[in-house]
Chains A and B, each alone.
Chain A
Amino acid sequence: GVSQNPRHKITKRGQNVTFRCDPISEHNRLYWYRQTLGQGPEFLIYFQGTGAADDSGLPNDRFFAVRPEGSVSTLKIQRTQQEDSAVYLCASSLVQGGNEQYFGPGTRLTVT
């Protein structure tokens, strides 16, 4: 399945954080979402191969993600703010077929 680490991250406001996602090996699309309590996941960005196909959900320029070799992806948040506290979810899918997306366990970020 999709793996993510760390599973939990507590950081102080203003610090930078980095999250990693390992997709299902044969999946060529990778997605990042974030979820706050009581809400459905909110799209951030997705990659097809190495390139970001849609980054329209990134909330501001403190957020950026890369997938340099078309497999593992990292999501980085600079100068974290309290409103960044959320669960960051990674998902992957095949382009072919119905684009069924499978989620990893998520990384819970708490900004104090």
Chain B
Amino acid sequence: QKEVEQNSGPLSVPEGAIASLNCTYSDRGSQSFFWYRQYSGKSPELIMSIYSNGDKEDGRFTAQLNKASQYVSLLIRDSQPSDSATYLCAPYNQGGKLIFGQGTELSVKP
């Protein structure tokens, strides 16, 4: 079992739709969770962090965390073509390092 699993995609959604990105993790000691966006040829950019069960909203982005199910998700409302990128999930367990999933490629079609 991989430590962090994400659907590799590509996930294709029409402009204006909601994009739903999912991530499961194996380390029950994980306490913080981060979502990074990575455009092709660029480095990862931190877009969301979530530390407790439930939802956290920031603009068009909502992160959802369920520690009992070891599941974290990212919803992007009103998707725009500029949201087309790879989204990386990364749990953190106080050990210092982030363990990344392979990422989900999102394509938003105009």
Which residue of chain A is the closest to B94 with respect to CB atoms?
Answer: A99
Contact of B102 among A38, A48, A87, A89 (CB under 8 A): A38
Q: How far is the CA of A31 from the CA of B44 in the complex (A)?
A: 13
The 8 listed contacts between A and B (C-beta, < 8 Å) are: A38-B102, A40-B90, A57-B97, A100-B49, A101-B46, A101-B98, A103-B44, A103-B45
- With A101-B34, A102-B46 already in contact, the answer to whether A40 and B96 are too (CB < 8 A) is no
Which residue of chain B is the closest to A29 with respect to CB atoms?
Answer: B96
Chain B nearest CB: distance from A65 CB in Å?
14
A-B CB contacts (within 8 Å), total count: 58
B interface, size bucket: 20 to 34
Q: Check B46–A43 contact: CB distance below 8 A.
A: no
Chain A nearest CB: distance from B65 CB in Å?
13
Q: How far is the CA of A42 from the CA of B101 in the complex (A)?
A: 9
